[in-house]
Amino acid sequence: MAYLCAEMNERYRIYIMAAKPSLLHVAAVCRAVESLGACVVSCRRVQGASDPCVMLTVCFAGAKSMLLKTLLPLARQYPLLLRVCRNEERVESIGLVAFDLDSVLVRTEMMNELAARCGCSHEMTYLTELAMSGQEEFADNFRRRVSMLRGLPLAEVKAMAQALPIAEGVSALKHSLSVRGVRTAIITGGFRQFSQSVQDQYGFDYICTSEAEVVDGVLTGALSGAIVDAETKAACLRQLSIALSLSPDRVAAVGDGANDLSMLDYAGESIIFNTSTHGATVPQLRIDAVSTILSIGDN
C-alpha cells in the first residue's frame, strides 16, 4: 500500500462536514474514493471548526473530475458538505465563489415546482433526477423538461420567483463572503427569473442562467438563447475569473449535480452540497457552512 501511495503523487484534501457527524459518513467517503483505486493516507478531526469537520488526505493518480463525479451522489444520499482541493497550500485567499441555484441556494428543484402548476409533476421529477444524477445528457433532458411547461403564464413564474424557498443561512453566507471581499456568482441552468430574484434580494454580483422563451405572456416550451449546461457553466466561471484576474486556485464553486461537474472541476476549491433531498427531521448544515469550510486551513 505504501508503494502504491508513493506512485500516486497527486494528493487531495477532502473535508467532510455535517451537522451531526457520524463515522458512517467518513466511511462512505472513504469507500467512494477507494472504489477509484485511490489511497486514503490520513484521517483527522479538524480543530477549531464551528461545525464538526474531518479531513482526509487522499493519494489519487486519476483526474480530479473523477473524484468529484464519485463524491457528488453522497451529498444527495447523506446530509454532508464536502470540500475537495489539491494538497498544495493556498497562496492567496479566495476571490470568487460560484453557486448553483436549485437544491443549493434554493431548497428545491424549481422545474419540479413549475411542473406542479402544469399537472406533470411526476414526469418532471423523474426527468430532473435523471439529469441531476448524470444518467441523461443535460441539454436534451432540459429541453424536454422546458417543453412540458408550454402554456404556463409568465405571471406564475414571476410569483414563484418572489416566494422561493431559500436555503437557511443565505443572508449570513453572503455577508460573510462580502466582508472578506469575495465576489459571488449564481451559475444555473434554471430560468433567469429565479436567479435574478436571489441576486436582487441578497446582492450576488453575477448571474449566468438559461432564459425561457415567452410569447404573449406565456411560456412557449422553448428557450431563448443557449442552455446553461455543464460546459457553459464552466466557461462562465472561467470568463469571470479571467475578468477578475483570479487564477483557478482562488476560485470556489458550489454544486450538487452532474451539471455542476465541469464548474467544480475548474475551481481550485470544489464544494459539494445539497439542501433539498433530506427530510425535515434530518439535521442539516446551513448554507453558510460553505464560508466556514472555505476558511479552514491545513492546520
Residues labelled as active-site residues? 100, 102
Rounded CA separation 32/51 (Å): 23
Rounded CA separation 122/205 (Å): 35
Rounded CA separation 83/289 (Å): 11
Q: Are 191 and 156 in contact (CB under 8 A)?
A: no
**Listed residue (14, 9, 15) closest to 59, CA to CA:** 9
Q: Are 232 and 262 in contact (CB under 8 A)?
A: no
Rounded CA separation 148/219 (Å): 10
C-alpha cell at 90: 493556498
Rounded CA separation 73/52 (Å): 21
**Listed residue (76, 72, 80, 73) closest to 23, CA to CA:** 80
Rounded CA separation 203/226 (Å): 25
User: Residue 96 — φ and ψ, nearest 5°?
Assistant: -150, 130
The sign one gets for the Cα dihedral 15, 279, 171, 242 is positive
